[in-house]
């Protein structure tokens, strides 16, 4: 048994640390089994005899029988191998494995003391704080200290309105570590997690004495307040000089008083040697760099050999002078300006500026500007230096990189996730009231609070022995833009049934080929929309917008519940399935960005709404509806299992008890008065979201308490008169997990089947192996699109057909019903609905019309993300469950002529329900 692994994008050209996940069929990989990693050239047949690459492995999920469902692995690629093979082998004695590992590369070591956690990769030694102010104590490469301290910084802006004038005051807060945890300690990979808050400290204000411009008065700011919690993870790999950081901050302030002016990481870099042998690098765009020194060799007399020395300096080489022979030129250098500070500020998705200055009391001089900086800075001197690269630098503007005090004995490398050169974060709501009817904001209650939301940024530090050359800088840029990642082939993901039911691409017939073209085309359309609509920025990057305004030729950016998508109708699931069936890196990055955004910005991580998320709105946290479906584990576990990302693991833990928060805020409070039940929930999306949380907790930790919560809920639904067809609203008690039926037809059904419930329940069924549960899902799938007369035969008129809206949203569960019950009529209905839908008949990019709003753009004037997501998901699932029903429907719609235009014409009017499915779904 072996699993082929491939590079997600381009193969890394230099050694890199790799972490990835692999799914397994039930019973295929047992706890005691040993896995070996080999370069592709070794071949599967040689697995038993070839030497293994050092690898660290751990389980991330289990099947109910105790076998491993998902495993995670870490290794270091030398940059030489192509793909890899992961295979089972007979377990080797621990001593042999250790010896093999040491023979291939250094073994990473972690030592914990009372004050510090020390990680030795064999190339660098990183010392981290266990408590108190300061994150990094030092980073050494050999005997050379490249970083003498690292500090998290948050600048708070206070605003006062006095006599009609607005005055602003900044207060610095610094990161204080409360807890430090070694989550992994090698031998290949170490993960250290620091948590804490920012605490007020000293504020240095400029002296008012004009004759003493450099004098500063120290003003004490009360240290009693701590705010802006953070988590910061450090990832280090054996034999490497790079450190990956994942930084998350949480907002716990009052948006009307607590404005964040700057948020970042400050690193102290010791400087050695003459100023002309110190080097600055700031990445611009298109692979370009600002290449400077505090003391450039450029003077108006830099000619001959001095021009050659200048060229060597610009290339990052150390230069030397003879005091006798070069005395005159050294005098020129002594007389030339010293450039102490440099910075690059990315103000927007389309503009950055680079500036430098000689002294703090002097002006900044523009050194260059451009469009999209790539987010890399370096400062170093004799003996090496430190580079820092921020992922999605321009996409998550405003960001900046600063190199300060480069002419002193200790420089600063400041990485600003939110640049202090930009206006402060404004997390207030866009209005003081809500608009339920005109804008579909969901609730008369405002509840537009950012308290408890978060944002995650990623960054890499390189600890270099020399100033990086062109090749080294190119490698750093490549890792910033597209971090090296191993993934399984789509065929293995499909065979292992990773994440339930979905299909591999199949273009064997005209209809299937067209469906594949449409699926790819929808993704391509949204990729183009991200760019042309500039869906970028610190708080927005990763999300799509919800629905479109064809009059103004804009998405509904200012219309209450119709602006940002906030995971409505589960576009995360759509994108992840599109990645898994294709293996495409561009789709992976699209899904990754959405996962980072929706799991952080759209979710409450603490406070009264903990475990819930905000429904779609003009600002991501604006809607009065706070619901479990926005935050559910089912949306985010794809990324966790594919990459073993610990931050998403935190998120999965956070939501496990989200059902308790519905007691604080009843999801159905507008429809059902308070009664004997602690709260009221719908079987979908509410209980479906809970079940995704509990399933994830159960499989990750084999926590049967959460399995039993699921079983209690299913047993409750089994007791309803018509099982899953009943309800869908129940009384609910989170202490017992019992759902109490109170009515067979008390709310609409479409939200129960379009917010991820089918995708979660299909996978859950594979774990529970409960035929009645599977039959209940199949029954609902067939019943959903029956006529009223057909429904009455089963329910005697107790349930109205009007409660079952938007057939196109139901097709995943409908296809499951057709598959489970071998119902050809239901299968045909599913395909007619899908093929008759506008998304099946439209080449979005090809048919987009050129329009003019603030600038020229292309549009599809009926576009909406709800239906794009659901049509895509349901088509992918139907191609797996009921492909045999497609040819007959294809033939019926295409007719004897085989003419494509005629086929499309007939498909458009194939059934009245297909026309209904094409309705604009804004607000649904």
* Per-residue pLDDT tens over the stretch 574-628: 999 999 999 999 999 999 999 999 999 999 999 999 999 999 999 999 999 999 9
* Domain final position from 61, 76, 104: 104
Determine, yes or no, domain membership for 451: no
Tally Cβ neighbours within 10 Å of residue 381: 24
Residue 821 belongs to domain with CATH number: 1.50.10
Which of the listed ranges 93-102, 153-162, 203-212, 897-906 does the model predict with the highest average pLDDT?
Answer: 153-162
pLDDT top residue among 232 and 92 = 232
pLDDT at 166: 76
pLDDT for residue 918: 34
Residue 169, pLDDT above cutoff 80: yes
Confidence (pLDDT) at 207: 42
- Token code pair at residue 439: 């804008």
70 in Cβ contact with 21 (< 8 Å):
yes
315 and 257 co-located in one domain? no
Q: Does 528 share its domain with 588?
A: yes
Residue in the structure block whose two tokens are 């059904």: 749
Phi then psi for 869, rounded to 5 degrees?
-65, -50
Task: Please report the pLDDT score of residue 82 as a whole number.
Answer: 78
pLDDT tens digits, one per residue of 6-55 = 999 999 989 999 999 999 999 999 999 999 999 875 444 444 444 679 99
Residue 106 pLDDT: 81
* C-alpha 305: how far from chain center: 51
Q: Which of 343, 241, 350 is nearest to 283 (CA)?
A: 343
Crossing angle of the two packed helices 633-643 and 646-654, in degrees rounded to 10: 150
d(CA 55, CA 70): 16
* 36 found inside a domain: yes
Kindly report whether the global pTM for this prediction surpasses the value 0.75. yes
What pLDDT was estimated at residue 224?
A: 63
If one counts every other C-beta atom within 10 angstroms of the C-beta of residue 692, the result is 29
Helices (H), 632-749: 633-643, 646-654, 661-664, 688-701, 704-719
Are 721 and 786 in a shared domain?
yes
pLDDT digits (tens, 9 = 90+) for 441-490: 988 999 999 999 999 999 999 999 999 999 999 999 999 999 999 999 99
Please give the sequence-ordered ranges of beta strands (E in DSSP) within 701-819, or none if there are none. 729-733, 738-741
Please give the backbone phi and psi of residue 759, each rounded to the nearest 5 degrees, phi first. -60, -40
**How much of the chain exceeds pLDDT 90, in percent?**
87
Quote the pLDDT of residue 172: 96
- First-to-last alpha carbon distance for the chain, in angstroms, is 46
Write out the two tokens for 632: 């559910």
- The pLDDT of residue 202 is 52
Task: Give the model confidence (pLDDT) of 868-897 as tens digits.
Answer: 999 999 999 999 999 999 999 988 877 634
Q: How far apart are CA 893 and CA 909, in angstroms?
A: 9
379 neighbors 280 (Cβ within 8 angstroms) = yes
Residue 922, pLDDT score: 32
Nearest-angstrom CA–CA distance, 103 and 101? 5
Predicted confidence band of residue 105 (pLDDT cuts 50, 70, 90): low
In a domain, 482, yes or no: no
List the CATH number of the domain containing 408.
Answer: 2.70.98
The gap from C-alpha 303 to its chain's centroid, in whole angstroms, comes to 51
Kindly tell me the sign of the dihedral angle through the C-alpha atoms of 411, 124, 9, 582: negative
E strand residue ranges, 186-215: 189-200, 202-206
Chain-wide mean pLDDT for the chain? 92
How many independent structural domains does the chain possess? 4
The dihedral formed by the CA atoms of 429, 434, 437 and 439, expressed in degrees to the nearest 10 = -10
Query: Are 227 and 316 part of one and the same domain?
Result: no
Cα–Cα distance, 105 to 777 (Å, whole number) = 52
In a domain, 449, yes or no: no
Residues 6+ apart with CB under 8 A from 504: 490, 491, 494, 581
Same domain assignment for residues 569 and 646: yes
Tens-digit pLDDT profile for residues 497-543: 999 999 999 999 999 999 999 999 999 999 999 999 999 999 999 99
> Does residue 560 sit in the same domain as residue 664?
yes
* % of the chain at pLDDT higher than 70: 91
Q: Which of 82, 104, 126 is a domain's end point?
A: 104
Burial of residue 24 (number of CB atoms within 10 Å: 0-12, 13-18, 19+): buried
Q: Which helix (H) or strand (E) holds 729?
A: strand 729-733
Q: Model confidence over 181-226: pLDDT tens digits? A: 999 999 999 999 999 999 997 544 444 444 544 544 444 444 468 9
Question: Which single residue is written with the structure tokens 């409070």?
Answer: 669
Of 236, 189, 182, 181, nearest in space to 72 by CA: 189
| β-bridge partners, 680 | 731
Q: Give the mean pLDDT of 562-569.
A: 97
Residue 238, pLDDT > 70, answer: yes
The residues pairing with 250 across neighbouring beta strands, listed in sequence order, are 454
Nearest C-alpha neighbor of 192 from the set 164, 150, 224, 154: 150
2/890 Cα distance (integer angstroms): 39
- Mapped onto helix, strand or coil, the DSSP state of residue 209 is coil
Domain match, 668 and 598 both: yes
Phi and psi based region of residue 723 (left: phi greater than 0; alpha: psi -120 to 50; beta: remaining): left
In a domain, 477, yes or no: no
Contact 56, 186 (CB under 8 A): yes
Rounded to the nearest 10 degrees, the angle between the axes of helix 585-600 and helix 510-532 is 60
Q: Which residue has the tokens 């807060």?
A: 173
100/9 same-domain check = yes
pLDDT of residue 168: 83
Render pLDDT for 290-318 as a digit per residue (tens, 0 to 9): 999 999 999 999 999 999 999 999 999 99
Q: How far apart are CA 637 and CA 655, in angstroms?
A: 12
Whether 456 is covered by a domain: the verdict is no
Please tell me whether the peptide bond between 637 and the residue prior to it is cis, using omega within 30 degrees of 0: no
Among 104, 123, 142, which residue terminates a domain? 104
Q: Are residues 145 and 258 located together in one domain of the fold?
A: yes
Which residue range forms the structural domain that includes residue 333? 296-337
* 78 and 126 share one domain: no
| pLDDT value of position 80 | 63
**85-99, 205-219, 566-580, 673-687, range with the lowest pLDDT:** 205-219
Q: Beta strand 351-357 with 341-348: parallel, antiparallel or unpaired?
A: antiparallel
**Is residue 270 a part of any domain in this protein?**
yes
Lowest mean pLDDT of 155-164, 316-325, 529-538, name the range: 155-164
SS3 content of the chain, % helix, strand, coil (to 5): 35, 30, 40
Distance separating alpha carbons of residues 150 and 410, to the nearest angstrom: 12
Pair 181, 227 in one domain: yes
Q: pLDDT tens-digit profile of 3-16?
A: 999 999 999 989 99
> Is residue 719 a part of any domain in this protein?
yes
* pLDDT tens profile 373-399: 999 999 999 999 999 999 999 999 999
Q: What tens digit of pLDDT does each residue of 828-880 get?
A: 999 999 999 999 999 999 999 999 999 999 999 999 999 999 999 999 999 99
CA atoms within 13 A on the CB side of 913: 23
Q: pLDDT at residue 143 above 80?
A: yes
Whether residues 603 and 750 share a domain: the answer is yes
Q: Which residue from 644, 595, 586, 528 is spatially nearest to 10, judged by alpha carbons?
A: 586
């Amino acid at each position: 048994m072996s699993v082929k692994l491939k590079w997600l994008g381009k193969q890394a050209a230099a050694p890199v640390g790799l972490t990835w996940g692999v799914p397994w069929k039930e019973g295929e990989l047992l706890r005691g089994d040993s896995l070996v990693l080999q370069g592709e050239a070794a071949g599967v047949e040689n697995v038993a005899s070839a030497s293994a690459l050092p690898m660290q492995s751990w389980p991330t999920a289990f099947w109910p029988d105790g076998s491993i469902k998902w495993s995670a692995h870490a290794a270091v690629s030398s940059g030489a191998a192509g793909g890899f093979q992961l295979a089972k082998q007979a377990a080797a004695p621990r001593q042999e494995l250790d010896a093999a590992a040491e023979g291939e590369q250094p073994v990473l070591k972690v030592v914990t003391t009372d004050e510090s956690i020390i990680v030795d990769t064999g190339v660098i030694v990183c010392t981290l704080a266990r408590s108190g102010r300061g994150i990094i104590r030092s980073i050494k490469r050999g005997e050379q200290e490249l970083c003498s301290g690292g500090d998290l910084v948050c600048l708070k802006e206070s605003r006062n309105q006095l006599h009609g004038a607005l005055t602003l005051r900044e207060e610095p807060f610094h990161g204080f570590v409360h807890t430090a945890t070694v989550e992994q300690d090698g031998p290949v990979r170490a993960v250290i997690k620091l948590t804490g808050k920012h605490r007020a400290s000293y504020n240095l204000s400029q002296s008012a004495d004009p004759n003493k411009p450099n004098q500063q008065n120290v003003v004490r700011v009360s240290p009693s307040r701590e705010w802006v919690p953070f988590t910061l993870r450090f990832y280090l790999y054996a034999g490497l000089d790079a450190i990956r950081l994942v930084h998350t901050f949480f907002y716990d302030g009052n948006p009307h008083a607590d404005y964040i002016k700057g948020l970042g990481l400050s690193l102290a870099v010791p400087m050695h040697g003459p100023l002309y042998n110190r080097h600055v690098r700031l990445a611009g765009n298109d692979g370009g760099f600002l290449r400077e020194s505090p003391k450039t060799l450029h003077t108006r007399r830099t000619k001959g050999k001095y021009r050659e020395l200048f060229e060597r300096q610009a290339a990052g080489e150390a230069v030397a002078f003879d005091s006798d022979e070069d005395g005159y030129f050294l005098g020129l250098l002594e007389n030339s300006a010293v450039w102490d500070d440099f910075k690059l500020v990315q103000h927007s998705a389309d503009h950055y500026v680079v500036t430098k200055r000689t002294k703090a009391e002097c002006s900044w001089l523009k050194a260059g500007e451009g469009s999209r900086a790539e987010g890399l800075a370096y400062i170093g001197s004799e003996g090496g230096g430190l580079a820092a690269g921020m992922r999605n630098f321009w996409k998550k503007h405003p960001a900046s990189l600063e190199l300060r005090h480069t002419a002193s004995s200790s420089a600063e490398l400041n990485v600003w996730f939110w640049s202090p050169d930009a206006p402060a974060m404004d997390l207030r709501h866009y209005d003081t009231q809500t608009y339920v009817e005109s804008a579909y904001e969901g609730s008369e209650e405002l509840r537009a609070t950012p308290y408890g939301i978060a944002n995650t940024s990623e960054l890499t530090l390189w600890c270099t022995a020399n100033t990086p050359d062109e090749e080294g800088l190119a490698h750093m840029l490549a890792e910033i833009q597209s971090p090296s990642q191993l993934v399984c082939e789509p065929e293995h993901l499909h065979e292992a049934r990773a994440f339930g039911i979905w299909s591999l691409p199949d273009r064997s017939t005209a209809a299937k080929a067209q469906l594949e073209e449409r699926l790819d085309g929808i993704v391509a359309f949204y990729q183009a929309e991200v760019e042309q609509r500039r869906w970028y920025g610190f708080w927005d990057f990763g999300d799509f917008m919800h629905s479109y305004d064809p009059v103004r030729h804009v998405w509904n950016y200012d219309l209450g519940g119709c602006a940002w998508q906030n995971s409505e109708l589960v576009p995360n699931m759509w994108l992840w399935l599109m990645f898994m069936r294709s293996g495409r890196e561009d789709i992976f990055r699209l899904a990754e960005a959405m996962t980072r955004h929706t799991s952080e910005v759209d979710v409450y991580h603490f406070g009264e709404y903990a475990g819930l998320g905000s429904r779609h709105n003009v600002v991501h946290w604006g809607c009065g509806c706070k619901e479990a479906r926005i935050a559910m584990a089912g949306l985010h576990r794809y990324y966790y299992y594919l990459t073993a990302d610990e931050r998403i693991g935190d998120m999965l833990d956070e939501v496990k008890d989200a059902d308790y928060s519905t007691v604080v805020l009843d999801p159905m409070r507008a429809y059902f008065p308070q009664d004997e039940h602690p709260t009221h929930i719908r079987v979908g999306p509410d209980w479906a979201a809970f079940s995704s949380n509990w399933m994830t907790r159960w499989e990750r930790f084999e926590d049967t308490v959460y399995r039993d919560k699921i079983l209690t809920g299913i047993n409750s639904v089994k007791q309803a008169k018509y099982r899953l067809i009943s309800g869908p609203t129940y009384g609910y008690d989170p202490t017992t997990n019992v759902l109490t039926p109170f009515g067979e037809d008390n709310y609409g059904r479409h939200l129960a089947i379009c917010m991820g419930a089918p995708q979660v329940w299909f996978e859950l069924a594979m774990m529970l192996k409960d035929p009645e549960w599977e039959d209940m899902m199949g029954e609902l799938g067939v019943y959903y699109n029956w006529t009223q007369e057909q429904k009455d035969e089963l329910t005697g008129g107790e349930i109205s057909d009007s409660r079952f809206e938007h057939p196109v949203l139901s097709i995943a569960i409908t296809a499951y019903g057709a598959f489970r019950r071998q119902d050809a009529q239901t299968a045909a209905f599913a395909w007619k609905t899908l093929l008759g839908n506008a998304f099946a008949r439209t080449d979005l990019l090809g048919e987009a019309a050129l329009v003019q709003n603030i600038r020229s753009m292309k549009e599809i004037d009926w576009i909406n993300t709800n239906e794009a997501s659901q049509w895509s998901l349901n088509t992918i699932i139907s191609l797996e469950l009921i492909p045999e029903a497609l040819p007959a429907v294809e033939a019926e719609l295409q007719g004897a002529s085989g003419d494509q235009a005629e086929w499309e014409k007939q498909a458009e009017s194939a059934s009245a329900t297909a026309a209904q499915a094409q309705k604009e779904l804004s607000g649904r």
